[in-house]
Amino acid sequence: MTFRHPYTNTSTKELEKYLKYIKKHNLKAVKLSTLVKKIENKENIDNYVVFTIDDNYKSFYKNGLPLFKKYHIPFTLFVYTKATEGKWGDFMTWKMVRECAKYGELGVHSYAHPHLPKLSDKEINQDTLKAINLFKKRIGYIPDMYAYPYGEYDERVKKIISKYFKVIANQNPGAIDLTTPIDDLDRIALTGKVNIAEKLKLKRLHIKNLIIKRNKNSITEISGKLINKIPYINIYLTDFGWKYHIKIKNNKFCFHPDFKLKRFRNRIIIRYNYKIFSRMIIKY
Ligand SMILES: [Zn+2]
The reported pLDDT for the residue numbered 9 is 64
The reported pLDDT for the residue numbered 7 is 44
Between the CA of 230 and the centroid of ligand 1 the distance, in Å, is: 36
Between the CA of 131 and the centroid of ligand 1 the distance, in Å, is: 14
**Rounded Cα distance, 240 and 165, in Å:** 34
Residues of the chain scoring pLDDT < 50:
1-8
Helices (H), 25-170: 32-40, 58-59, 65-70, 81-85, 94-103, 121-138, 155-164
pTM of structure = 0.95
**Rounded Cα distance, 161 and 125, in Å:** 8
Between the CA of 87 and the centroid of ligand 1 the distance, in Å, is: 16
The reported pLDDT for the residue numbered 269 is 98
Within 8 A by CB and 6+ apart from 68, the residues are: 19, 51, 74, 75, 103, 104
Between the CA of 149 and the centroid of ligand 1 the distance, in Å, is: 5
Taken in order of first residue, the domains within the chain and their CATH numbers are 2-199 (3.20.20.370), 205-282 (2.60.40.1790)
Between the CA of 54 and the centroid of ligand 1 the distance, in Å, is: 5
The reported pLDDT for the residue numbered 6 is 47
Between the CA of 6 and the centroid of ligand 1 the distance, in Å, is: 8
Between the CA of 56 and the centroid of ligand 1 the distance, in Å, is: 9
**What's the DSSP call for residue 118?**
G
Between the CA of 250 and the centroid of ligand 1 the distance, in Å, is: 41
- Give the HSE-up count for residue 231: Cα atoms under 13 Å, Cβ half-sphere: 3
The reported pLDDT for the residue numbered 78 is 98
The reported pLDDT for the residue numbered 234 is 98
Between the CA of 227 and the centroid of ligand 1 the distance, in Å, is: 34
**Rounded Cα distance, 260 and 215, in Å:** 9
